[in-house]
Amino acid sequence: MANIYNFSIIRVCPDQKRGEVVNIGIAVFNRYDIDVHILPSLLKVHALHEEIDLSELYALPQKMNRIGIGKGSPEESHRALRQVGMVELSDLGQFRANNKEQYDEVVADLMSKLVRPTVARTERGTKTSRLRTELRDIIDQAGILGKTKADLAKHKIVQNYPVAPEKGLYADFAGKNSKHYFTETIDYRVSSKSINSEKFNESAKAAFVLYEARRSFKNSVRTIVYAATRETESSVRTHLNLASEFASDVVNFESAQDRARYMQSLATVFRGELPLDK
């Protein structure tokens, strides 16, 4: 039998005179606590009012539970929290979930549809490199590739994961088990002219993505997977140094040993086994 959950959108109105409201999270009123989900990046709030102490917003899960727990029904807890300073809650909505996995999937979907900033998405997936396609196919063959962002809650690896969508930064691949796993790909198997121009920009973009991932997801593993021919390996070293500054690991896709090590680590985390290297 499905459980029914009450939820509310958490909103911030930094300046009552201007009346600008930003959705920053979701609060789910459970039987014994309030499950609060806040956006990893609140730069949009800071942009509206530079003097806001964002640490107070990040502390909302503890504050809302301290104020709202013990009020009785979800409706009473919601009334107690309806307006707390600059933070306000929307009217209560409801959703159904049969188990924890489905619950996490619905909450992730609500965050995606109702809370995350809408931006003109120029995701790097719109121009997919050969390396990214090859890596996607290998992950798919291993049975750990998700089809939608909601599959992250099913311990699958998803593509174009929003790390800082308000900045147009999306990770090529992302997964979540006990921690987040991010992968950025850079295909250096191009002409020397492209390496010195567009590939430098691509390397810088990867560095920004991994920097934001490290900042917003403290307990994360961040990997650069690159491909370079023997002829171009030395000429891309400075690019790699730039991109790998915020990475936990660097994998050379052209190395069978590196490639096997990377895939074995993913399979261990997301499937609990070690696949045979083909």
Count of residues for the chain? Answer: 278
- Residue 277: φ, ψ to 5°: -75, 125
Confidence category of residue 123, pLDDT binned at 50, 70, 90: very low
| Alpha-carbon gap, residue 180 to 200, rounded angstroms | 26
Percent of the chain past pLDDT 70, that is, above it, reads 86
Tell me the pLDDT of the chain averaged across its residues: 84
What pLDDT is attached to residue 278? 38
Residue boundaries of the structural domains of the chain: 3-115, 124-270
In sequence order, the 6+-apart residues with CB closer than 8 A to the CB of 251 are 223, 224, 225, 226, 258, 259, 261, 262
What number is the average pLDDT over the span 36-40?
A: 88
What pLDDT is attached to residue 122? 43
Percent of the chain past pLDDT 90, that is, above it, reads 40
Encoded tokens for 21? 């409201």
Q: Are 245 and 207 in contact (CB under 8 A)?
A: yes
pTM for the predicted model, two decimal places: 0.55
What pLDDT is attached to residue 240? 85
* Whether pLDDT at 9 is above 60: yes
Q: Determine whether domain 124-270 maps to CATH 3.90.1530.
A: no
* Whether pLDDT at 34 is above 70: yes
Q: Are 29 and 10 in contact (CB under 8 A)?
A: no
160-185 pLDDT, tens digit each: 999 988 778 899 999 998 899 999 99
What pLDDT is attached to residue 117? 60
* Whether pLDDT at 115 is above 90: no
Q: Are 102 and 15 in contact (CB under 8 A)?
A: no
Task: Strand 169-176: give its sheet, edge to edge.
Answer: 158-164, 169-176, 180-187, 220-227, 249-252
What pLDDT is attached to residue 158? 95
